[in-house]
Amino acid sequence: MTTLHGFHRSSASFRVRIALNLKGIAYDSVAYDIARLEHREPGYLALNPQGLLPTLEIDGLRLTQSFAIVDYLDAIRPEPPLYPVDAPGRARVASLAASIGADIHPLGAARVVRYLRETVGVDADQAAAWQRHWIDEGFTALEARLRDGATGRFSHGDTPGVADLFLVPQTFTARRVGVEVERFPTIASIVAACLELPAFQHALPDKQPDANQERRST
């Protein structure tokens, strides 16, 4: 039994959903509403003391950190590969993904925004401007890097891989906070290509069962 503990709007959970779908691994979902701090309750902290989503239970293991989870899935189910076979290509893809997962995403994470609002005392507009700023700066650099000749239909050549798993969710967050993704044409065209694939479509936030629960309760 494979269980993904996540949240429909969590971009790190979104990455793992895409990877599971690309690998054809069926899974159950357990949702934790970040706005209601359900991921900070004792039940989830017992699974993942970091209190961050997602956690994947698979093969009797409890895996955390989306990068590590995606790597694990690629190791146990090599087809289709999520990394290029050549070492320079692999380093490029890992670097693109890290620039999103390690440098852009954490600055706009819910816990950071909560601290800005509740402790530093910034208002909602200032918090949104903070999120836009770091995505904008990150996407400007990413757009330049993606014009290095190794990009194809996808971030690396013409098959989807790890960099795409990180890129697509980050553009959904970007739009949510008001970043116009079309200002980054290479990024926008890669995302459009990804969204033609069922693995990405079925992973979309709106397609998750907890998105429907949220609609019913609001």
CB of 51 to ligand GSH, least distance (A): 7
171 near ligand GSH, judged by CB under 6 A: no
Q: Which of 4, 11, 154, 194 binds ligand GSH (CB under 6 A)?
A: 11
CB of 72 to ligand GSH, least distance (A): 12
CB of 46 to ligand GSH, least distance (A): 15
Residues 98-117, interacting with ligand GSH (CB under 6 A): 101, 109-111
CB of 44 to ligand GSH, least distance (A): 10
- CA distances (Å), 187 to each of 122, 128, 138, 162, in order? 30, 21, 12, 14
39 near ligand GSH, judged by CB under 6 A: yes
Cα–Cα distance, 169 to 115 (Å, whole number): 23
* Contact present, 166 and 100 (Cβ < 8 Å): yes
Residue 5 host element (H or E): strand 3-6
Q: Which of 4, 5, 8, 10 binds ligand GSH (CB under 6 A)?
A: 10
* Contact present, 90 and 84 (Cβ < 8 Å): yes
Residue 95 host element (H or E): helix 87-98
Binding footprint of ligand GSH on the chain (CB under 6 A)? 10-12, 34, 39, 52-53, 65-67, 101, 109-111
